[in-house]
Structure 1
Amino acid sequence: MAEELKVPKVWIGPRSYATKKARQEAVQAILGRYGIGKVVDQEDDDLLLRDLLDMHPDAEGKVGPGVEHFRVIATPRGHHKGPEAVLVDGSKVAFSYQKCLDAPTHPQRVKAAMRTEIQPQVNTYYEARKASHTLVSDESGQELAPADVHVSYFQGPRFHDIAMDFVRAAGGFDAIDLTAETERGLALFTDRALADRWHAHHQEHAVLGLLSAKENLRRPRV
């Protein structure tokens, strides 16, 4: 019997799709559910659009101070619907979902690998807070259920700023080689000495804290 070929999956955040077409249709289905000018008020739809915007090649500029909610708007030529992010400061930013679905650039892959590399540090922080019985929001003080805890950088420099400082010191994105991705986000630094330097840099500069899911949704996600 011939061995079955494994079809690589494509992703939007934690959601996997069998094909690029299926992924695109998932976004189009959200746009189709709302009229022009309507707020995207279903939580699952909102979460998908937040993860989608994270994939934009200019995500840092688009997200700005953080997204309050999304609206559906007419595209510039008026023939189709598109998403618009309404930021917490009231400004509005339209973005192309097609650009979000394009293959990630090398800088995007490097930043994803950097998050993968330091995930054990994030996990250790969460476990320490859990062991000390301090699973409370560092913003509101409310007690958090384990399933409602998000580790955030809101108390100090953003992850993006910490990462970019390291990238510049390393000689730029082109100086960082990655292993092949076996699954979404699982690429790592090929140079393990450089990886150790990144781990130490993140440990020194990251100021982690805990938020609830709703509090975290209002924060910049890059």
Structure 2
Amino acid sequence: MAEFWIGQRWYRTKGAAQEAVREVLYRYDVGSTVDQDDDHLLLLDLLDMHPEADDKIGSGVEAFAIAPPQRGPHPGFEVIRTDGTRIDFSYLTCLKPPTHRQQVLNVMRDEVKAIANAYFEARKAAGSLISDESGAPLESTDTAVAYFRGPSFNGIAREFADSLGGWEAIELTSSSEKGLGKFRDRDLAERWFVHHQERAVLGLLSGQENRRRPRT
């Protein structure tokens, strides 16, 4: 069977990925909040794969909880949004083949990763590896380049897609590497790079601070 990815996590098969998610689901009691950082981050990346991710995320993800069974005997996951509302989501739906929107988002992030890398290296060279949220010193191995001081990455990407008429207007090449292709139109790729560069307001956070940020 083909390998499977959830965010940057590689699994030998889709079944292995499903089992990793199930382990999180049954690690907690029904009604409890997912409070382990690695579990929280996995569920954030998993939710991004949902075909209705924008609707599920809403105002942003504050946390995840284990919801009681709705149909059948098994519990499920629930999103706790930053505005206090809650909504359930099916992890099995998330594990279906990625939507075109999700594929485009993955490619978009890959196309601009050099910007985040350059920002990190510049801060490191300047001796300013400190959290822009708490002011605490950061270890280079536990530092995240984040969008918390301006529009989110997904918001910047959504604005670009909307300017073209929607996600389907962005054509991708095929690739087996991490499920990623490239922009078929390289001029459009350059436009995306400039669009992102003009709008991204980057900052540094610790890994834990970044994992606990609301996801929008």
TM-score (norm 2): 0.90
| Corresponding residue SS for 1:37 | coil
2:34 is matched with: 40
- How many percent identity over aligned positions? 53
2:104 is matched with: 110
User: C-alpha displacement at 1:65, in angstroms?
Assistant: 4.1
Task: Say which is worse superposed, 51-60 or 123-132, in terms of deviation.
Answer: 51-60
Following the alignment from structure 1 to structure 2, what is the Cα–Cα distance between the partners of residues 183 and 220? 29
| Corresponding residue SS for 2:112 | helix
Written as runs of structure 1 = structure 2, the 5 A alignment for 1:10-159 is 10-159=4-153
Letter in 1 for 2:35: D
Deviations 1:104-138 (A, max 9, x none): 11121111111111111111111111111111111
Given the superposition, is the C-alpha separation of residues 144 and 64 from structure 1 closer, same or farther in structure 2, using an over 3 Å criterion?
A: farther
Task: Say which is worse superposed, 151-160 or 164-173, in terms of deviation.
Answer: 164-173
Paired residue for 2:207, among 179, 203, 213? 213
1:166 is matched with: 160
- Unaligned ranges ≥5, structure 1: 1-6
User: Between Structure 1 and Structure 2, how many residues are aligned?
Assistant: 216
Whether the 8 Å CA contact 1:37–1:73 is kept in 2: the answer is yes
Name the larger-Rg structure.
1
Deviations 1:185-217 (A, max 9, x none): 532101111111111111111111111122212
What is the RMSD computed on CA atoms of the aligned residues?
1.9
Q: Which runs of 4+ in 1 moved over 4 A?
A: none
Whether the 8 Å CA contact 2:2–2:14 is kept in 1: the answer is no
User: C-alpha displacement at 1:78, in angstroms?
Assistant: 4.9
